[in-house]
Structure 1
Amino acid sequence: MPSRRTLLALPALLAPRLAAGQEAYPARAITVYSGYAPGGVTDVTSRAVAERMGVELGVPVVVENRVGAATAVANTAAAQARPDGYTLLMGTSTLAINPGLQPNLTPKEPLKDLAPIGMVFRSAFVLHVHPGVPARSTAELIAWCKANPGKLNFGSSGTGAVNHLAQALFAQRAGIEVVHVPYRGGAPALIDLRAGRIGAMFQAVLEALPALQDGATRGLAISSAAREPLLPDLPPVAETLLGFDAVFWQGLFAPAATPAPVLARLGTALRAATEDPVLRARMAQQGVAIATGDAAELRALLERETGLWGRLIREADIKAE
């Protein structure tokens, strides 16, 4: 059995040293930039994961909200930060969307300017419709749209939002014509969906739940490839449109050129946080599926979605508002 002295020495033994004469990492608080305002699911999840990472690392990990320009303010600040492991980014799907939708925003090449550390969460959307839409499944909705081209008003949280791209991908894959109605957020869109002023929407599960539960809307499917624990009876869209998978995701990044030992230490701490059963259960109650994935998986996801959304934006001629 290890002695108490050995156990106390473990953090120092595990901490990577960057070079001879430099301090062990981490030696002080770590800042994580977030491009979202305080209080939302993204912010709440960021803080929960950061706090748990701080326990693992032995230093505070503090989330700093830098809102603006479709998260480009936070993304750019992190990409341009000193690559020493003390400034990180809770990056999201916007890293894959912005290069195609708003190529003037920085970083223009996130795959080159940022170093992936690991996945944080994936959050699916529910495809739900107003009861006046005569469809009770994805297949029925597609058939109705084909028989009534251009008659379905499909809401979103805004042009270029992931749920808008999910709708555009759905229409493209299904070969249907719908009318996109962008809103400034999911809440006003839901008001109009309840009232029947729009007919359908891909919406964050927690936002949609009250309307589904009181019968104001009818759930048809889930946008992720896997079923949603909060709505287990709804099949994935992919059961009708093979390969369909459109989710909002979040992952942890560092500036490019951050030393490999530092990235490895951060990756270990992130995995400990995302595998914590208490944290996972707490986030599941908010409709967030905490995801465990290493740097390679996050890089592959960002690369795949940059290609997917960029191609869709071009083919569907989607323009930023």
Structure 2
Amino acid sequence: MHRRSLLGASLALPVTRAAAQPTWPDRPIVLIEGYPPGGVTDLVSRAVSAVMARDLGVPVVVDNRPGAATSVAATHAARARPDGHTLVMGTTTLAINPTLQPQLTPRDPVRELEPVGMVFRTPFILQVHPEVPAADTAELIGHCRRNPGRVLFGSPGTGSVSHLCLELFRARTGIDVVHVPYRSGTDAALGLRRGEVHAVFQAPQEAKAVLRDGSSRGLAVTAATPLPGYPALPSILGTVPDLEVFFWQGLFAPAGVPAAVLARVASALRAATEDPATRLRLADADVELVSGGAETLRTVLVSDIARWHEVIQQANLRLE
């Protein structure tokens, strides 16, 4: 072979190899969800995945894997091949489990999962049964202090964000109240409606029915600004500082996914959370999508791990 032919072959070789590199994504993406179908997190996951699929050009399939406080889903994702074809919708439980249930995996979500971006977050509504003599948060605190050990607070279960919000409320105000765990947020709302408990910190999606039919009375929201759909409810921070509490949902990938792939996923996620039609549709379910990149989600996760560790330790919470 002539020298010129060899040179031409050598110059062509990198182009041939580059062309042979697989593109991403080259098959459907699996989005693992740690909750059963039909709930708010599942609703959000499916709405966001549909827009991401259009952006990425491949199906984004939601795979519901509930169980063990969402650790079944998170563990499966953390152990998946880090090629960007497996993602997981993580929630606040990632920040709670390392302290409350240290036997669950992933034990170190900051190291074992790679944040992609925020999806949504929601504060809680402090609401009381109509017979509770309190028109605002300050009056409720006073009522609790006059009746130590007699005011019952419901929650969706021990270790839920709603329960930890109650424990933080108790620590900040020094009140003596009784926690009554239910099996779900819906059950807790029904317990409030029936008068089995006197108060509850409830997600807006679960509080809506009892607030609208008058079987509960909203006092405040655990956010610094008014909640869309409930503009008349004041922030609880005016009465109890440092009680800003949110349940959040964010997209994660297994640790080790290439940076270029993560950037592509993050771009598709931002397109989904900023899609006007999707935002409008979810707003009807009291869900407000938020856009925030990997560092925002990482900061939220790290901050919540430290915060809920302190609350769980101080309250000496244990799961039986």
Structure 1 residues 1-321: aligned runs within 5 Å: 21-321=20-320
**How many residues of Structure 1 are paired with residues of Structure 2 in the alignment?**
303
What CA deviation, in whole Å up to 9, does each residue of 1:40-71 have, x standing for no partner?
11101101101101111111111100111111
- Contact kept, 8 Å, 1:90 with 1:251, in 2: the verdict is yes
Q: Distance in 2 between matches of 1:20 and 1:255?
A: 27
Q: Give the equivalent residue in structure 1 for 2:7.
A: none
What CA deviation, in whole Å up to 9, does each residue of 1:237-269 have, x standing for no partner?
112112321111100000001111111110011
Q: Distance in 1 between matches of 2:25 and 2:225?
A: 37
Q: Distance in 1 between matches of 2:315 and 2:190?
A: 27
Q: Distance in 2 between matches of 1:154 and 1:41?
A: 23
Q: Distance in 2 between matches of 1:55 and 1:122?
A: 24
Q: Distance in 2 between matches of 1:39 and 1:53?
A: 20
Q: Distance in 2 between matches of 1:224 and 1:163?
A: 14
What CA deviation, in whole Å up to 9, does each residue of 1:95-115 have, x standing for no partner?
001001100000000000000
Alpha-carbon shift at residue 22 of structure 1 (Å)? 2.6
Q: Distance in 1 between matches of 2:254 and 2:224?
A: 31
Q: Distance in 2 between matches of 1:134 and 1:20?
A: 72
SS of 1:290's partner is coil
What CA deviation, in whole Å up to 9, does each residue of 1:208-259 have, x standing for no partner?
1221122211100112232211111001211211232111110000000111
- Contact kept, 8 Å, 1:225 with 1:244, in 2: the verdict is no
Q: Distance in 2 between matches of 1:187 and 1:75?
A: 24
Q: Give the equivalent residue in structure 2 for 1:4.
A: none
Q: Distance in 1 between matches of 2:118 and 2:175?
A: 33
Alpha-carbon shift at residue 147 of structure 1 (Å)? 2.1
Q: Distance in 2 between matches of 1:279 and 1:39?
A: 17
- Contact kept, 8 Å, 1:97 with 1:309, in 2: the verdict is yes
Q: Give the equivalent residue in structure 1 for 2:11.
A: none
SS of 1:69's partner is coil
What CA deviation, in whole Å up to 9, does each residue of 1:280-320 have, x standing for no partner?
11111101110100000000000000000111000001112
Unmatched segments (≥5 aa) in structure 1: 1-18
Q: Distance in 1 between matches of 2:22 and 2:157?
A: 46
Q: Distance in 1 between matches of 2:144 and 2:209?
A: 26
Alpha-carbon shift at residue 195 of structure 1 (Å)? 2.0
Alpha-carbon shift at residue 192 of structure 1 (Å)? 2.1
Alpha-carbon shift at residue 20 of structure 1 (Å)? 8.0
Alpha-carbon shift at residue 21 of structure 1 (Å)? 4.5
SS of 2:175's partner is coil
Unmatched segments (≥5 aa) in structure 2: 1-17
- Contact kept, 8 Å, 1:100 with 1:313, in 2: the verdict is yes
Q: Distance in 2 between matches of 1:303 and 1:111?
A: 7
Q: Distance in 2 between matches of 1:286 and 1:143?
A: 34
SS of 1:289's partner is coil
TM-score (norm. length: structure 1):
0.92
SS of 1:99's partner is helix
- Contact kept, 8 Å, 1:225 with 1:243, in 2: the verdict is no
Q: Distance in 2 between matches of 1:305 and 1:51?
A: 29
Q: Distance in 2 between matches of 1:180 and 1:216?
A: 20
What CA deviation, in whole Å up to 9, does each residue of 1:126-161 have, x standing for no partner?
110011211111111112212222111000000011
Q: Distance in 1 between matches of 2:19 and 2:108?
A: 33
Q: Distance in 2 between matches of 1:164 and 1:71?
A: 17
- Contact kept, 8 Å, 1:88 with 1:253, in 2: the verdict is yes
Q: Distance in 2 between matches of 1:229 and 1:94?
A: 24
Alpha-carbon shift at residue 124 of structure 1 (Å)? 2.0
